[in-house]
Amino acid sequence: MNFKIRKLLLVCSCSPLLMSVLCKKVDTYENTPLLKAKTKVTLSDNAIFTKRDTLWITGTVSSMLYDTGTQDSVKNDNEAVNDSISVLQLKSEDKTSNTTEAISLFKLVTSVGRIDLLGACLDSELIAIAHLTQDGQSYRYKIGLVPEATGDFLLDWLYPVDLTVNDLNTKY
């Protein structure tokens, strides 16, 4: 039993990499010279959601970036920053994958910022667009996923994030 759980976690962590081969090429985090700030992402409480619930994802990132060339912080002058999130549903392993695209299984809502669906994988990737806050200190988004189907789902961020889940008091 313990071996099966380890195997599932290993496959889950590798599946976004395998899925990325099938999608169009996207510039990676490391190729962006100034972008050295992690988005802090918080998920709403509950481990299980029903079709009436909304899973809220709140992301915040500083408006200051670390410039690797000057070794100093610089102001990000963009009006908005993006966070690419893959939404996948776990399925039975079929020798090629254990996930399938799942954007269509959710109704997408926004409270702060906006959502774009023009990511690398149109059926599995959404782009949360965070706008600069009024005080100019950070960028923020709050998007919601309302399930329209039941199942086990996987959220994966393209860029590094600090992920917190309040109800479990766990930081990943």
Give the type of residue at 109. Answer: V
Residue 25 near residue 120, CB atoms below 8 Å: yes
The mean pLDDT value for 86-90 works out to 91
- Where is 3: in which H helix or E strand? helix 2-21
| pLDDT (0 to 100) of residue 168 | 54
Burial per residue of 73-100, b for 16 or more beta-carbon CB atoms within 10 angstroms, e otherwise:
eeebeeeebbbbbbbbbbeeeeeeebbb
End-to-end CA distance of the chain: 23
Instruction: Return all residues near 65 (Cβ < 8 A) that are at least 6 apart.
Output: 34, 35, 36, 37, 73, 74, 75, 76
Domain count within the chain:
1
The pLDDT tens digits for 19-37 are: 444 455 444 434 443 445 7
Q: Map residue 21 onto helix, strand or coil.
A: helix
Nearest to 17 by CA among 151, 116, 154, 161: 154
The pLDDT tens digits for 41-80 are: 988 877 778 888 999 999 999 988 877 778 788 888 788 8
| pLDDT (0 to 100) of residue 146 | 94
Q: For residues 29 and 129, what is the distance between their CA atoms, to the nearest angstrom?
A: 16
Domain that includes residue 85, residue range? 2-171
The pLDDT tens digits for 138-165 are: 999 999 999 999 989 989 998 888 887 7
